[in-house]
């Protein structure tokens, strides 16, 4: 299958507010040398705790932010350097669905105008617009008589269906769903997940699915990237990542989700403070239960330790037994 998206060594820093006029400007790295790819009709899940850089990466792909370095190729063309007509075309190829459909939909526009707006901006002929509108309503399971209604007249799940219809209007090749089900009732979450899956097969789009909810990510994704402190620390096919997580951070993320005993269940990840004076090369070292001075001080890169299973950890790259393989338990 053809690669529809290639992210190559992309980094993004944000300038922090100066303490005072004379102090030097400090920067915060939100995305650090990230490389990922996505094939046609594939879903890449991105997980990681709050602040790990997931949304920033999405904004770079959507050209809402420009990276400091690296390339983002959409269908082989670099959106970070594109201009004019080419840039407009590349932006059209990638659409987004946000977490909160209420704040992402204009409350003063009715459903018809919300879905038609991207078609009007792109000057699609009127007759075609109406055809697309009705077929989109069908695809997302909204009744044809809802066109004159406003967002506040719908439930959360229905609003997310409107947002999905709008995102699909221009037949994008990639849809980025940034926490698309987090604000919905649990009973509705599965419906929206199934709708996204069904649309993927019908329209042959590719997804980037960002979520804190690891089980939802696993349900929909072909492969999953785990982000910690701006970097991808593990990348593997979804099933493989769940069965055999190699990075200590992924293991902590999974343990906090999979631990059946409520007494042991942490909402957040356990924080362990290791010796931070040693300035380790691994960003997770300070919190890593397997911290080892000898290995964690050396440089480590995302490397392939098994077929299609990449990990950024000096210990797991050496295939040392970490927590023990989940398969063996
Ligand atoms: N425009 C900005 N200016 C300064 N810092 C920013 C900006 N945008 C993001 N950041 C910082 O970059 C880091 C990564 O933010 P980002 O929103 O990408 O995280 P996230 O993984 O999506 O988190 P969450 O799961 O909470 O949505 C955060 O520490 C955030 O404060
Ligand atoms: Mg985010």
Question: Tens digits of per-residue pLDDT, 59-97?
Answer: 999 999 999 999 999 999 999 999 999 999 999 999 999
pLDDT band, very low/low/confident/very high, at 23 (cuts 50, 70, 90)? confident
Report the pLDDT averaged over residues 52-62. Answer: 97
* Position 101 pLDDT exceeds 80: no
Atom number of ligand 1 nearest to Cα 179: 27
* Position 223 pLDDT exceeds 60: yes
Q: In the chain, what percentage of residues exceed pLDDT 90?
A: 66
* Position 44 pLDDT exceeds 60: yes
Report the pLDDT averaged over residues 27-32. Answer: 94
In short, whether 14's Cβ falls inside 6 Å of ligand 1 is yes
- Residue 303 bridge partners (DSSP): 311
Check residue 314 and give its pLDDT: 82
φ, ψ dihedrals at 181, nearest 5°: -120, 0
> What are the pLDDT digits (tens) for 255-300?
876 544 445 444 444 445 555 555 567 888 888 888 887 778 777 7
Ligand nearest to the CA of 48: 1
User: What 3-state class would DSSP assign to 253?
Assistant: helix
Q: Do 220 and 196 touch, CB atoms closer than 8 A?
A: yes
Mutate to test the pocket of ligand 1, among 13, 50, 51, 57 (most ligand atoms within 8 A of CB): 51
Q: Which of 162, 52, 64, 47 is nearest to 116 (CA)?
A: 162
Report the pLDDT averaged over residues 8-14. Answer: 97
pLDDT band, very low/low/confident/very high, at 26 (cuts 50, 70, 90)? confident
Cα 60 to middle of ligand 2, angstroms: 13
Residue showing tokens 């820093």: 13
Check residue 281 and give its pLDDT: 75
Check residue 285 and give its pLDDT: 84
Q: Do 129 and 96 touch, CB atoms closer than 8 A?
A: no
Report the pLDDT averaged over residues 127-151. Answer: 94
Nearest-CA residue for ligand 1 atom 28 is: 51
Cα 18 to middle of ligand 2, angstroms: 24
In short, whether 56's Cβ falls inside 6 Å of ligand 1 is yes
Check residue 317 and give its pLDDT: 60
In short, whether 189's Cβ falls inside 6 Å of ligand 1 is no
Alpha helices, DSSP H, located in 281-322: 293-296, 314-317
Report the pLDDT averaged over residues 178-203. Answer: 92
φ, ψ dihedrals at 304, nearest 5°: -80, 110
pLDDT band, very low/low/confident/very high, at 322 (cuts 50, 70, 90)? very low
| Structural domains of the chain, ranges and CATH numbers in brackets | 3-10+28-221 (3.40.50.300), 239-328 (no CATH)
Q: Which residue has the higher pLDDT, 264 or 186?
A: 186
Task: Identify the weakest region by mean pLDDT among 8-22, 96-110, 161-175, 259-273.
Answer: 259-273
- Residue 13 bridge partners (DSSP): 29
Residue showing tokens 């890169």: 301
What is the pTM (predicted TM-score) of this model?
A: 0.89
Say which DSSP state 250 is in.
H
Q: Which of 255, 231, 248 is nearest to 288 (CA)?
A: 248
Say which DSSP state 290 is in.
T
Report the pLDDT averaged over residues 246-253. Answer: 91
Nearest-CA residue for ligand 1 atom 17 is: 55
- How far apart CA 311 and CA 329 sit, in angstroms, is 21
Tell me what the pLDDT averaged over the chain comes to: 87
Check residue 324 and give its pLDDT: 46
Cα 88 to middle of ligand 2, angstroms: 25
Ligand nearest to the CA of 56: 1
Cα 313 to middle of ligand 2, angstroms: 24
Residue 52's alpha-carbon distances to 43, 121, 257, 264, 307, in angstroms, are: 20, 34, 18, 24, 26
Q: Which of 243, 254, 233 is nearest to 316 (CA)?
A: 233
């Amino acid at each position: 299958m053809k690669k529809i998206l290639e992210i190559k060594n992309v980094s993004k820093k944000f300038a922090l507010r100066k303490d005072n006029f004379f102090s030097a400007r400090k920067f915060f790295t939100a995305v650090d040398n990230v490389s990922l790819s996505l094939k046609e009709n594939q879903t890449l899940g991105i997980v990681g705790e709050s602040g790990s850089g997931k949304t920033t990466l999405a904004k770079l792909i959507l050209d809402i932010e420009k990276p400091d370095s690296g390339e983002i190729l959409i269908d082989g063309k670099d959106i970070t350097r594109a201009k004019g007509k080419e840039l407009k075309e590349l932006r059209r190829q990638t659409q987004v669905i946000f977490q909160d459909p209420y704040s992402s939909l204009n409350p003063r526009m009715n459903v018809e105008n919300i879905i038609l707006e991207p078609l009007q901006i792109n000057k699609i002929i009127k007759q075609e617009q109406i055809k697309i509108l009705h077929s989109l309503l069908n695809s997302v399971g909204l009744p044809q008589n809802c066109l004159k209604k406003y967002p506040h007249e719908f439930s959360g799940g229905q609003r997310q269906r409107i947002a999905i219809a709008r995102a699909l209007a221009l037949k994008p090749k990639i849809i980025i769903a940034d926490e698309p089900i987090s604000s919905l009732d649990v009973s509705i979450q599965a419906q929206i997940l199934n709708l996204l899956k069904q649309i993927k097969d019908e329209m042959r789009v590719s997804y980037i699915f960002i979520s804190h909810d690891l089980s939802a990510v696993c349900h929909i994704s072909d492969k999953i990237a785990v982000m910690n402190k701006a970097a991808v620390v593990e990348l593997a096919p979804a099933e493989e990542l769940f069965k055999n997580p190699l990075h200590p951070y992924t293991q902590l993320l999974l343990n906090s989700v999979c631990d059946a005993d409520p007494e042991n269940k942490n909402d957040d990840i356990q924080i362990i403070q290791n010796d931070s004076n040693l300035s380790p090369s691994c960003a997770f070292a300070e919190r890593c239960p397997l911290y080892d001075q000898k290995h964690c001080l050396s440089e480590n890169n995302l490397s392939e330790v098994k077929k299609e299973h990449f990990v950024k950890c000096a210990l797991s790259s050496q295939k040392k037994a970490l927590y023990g393989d989940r398969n063996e338990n």
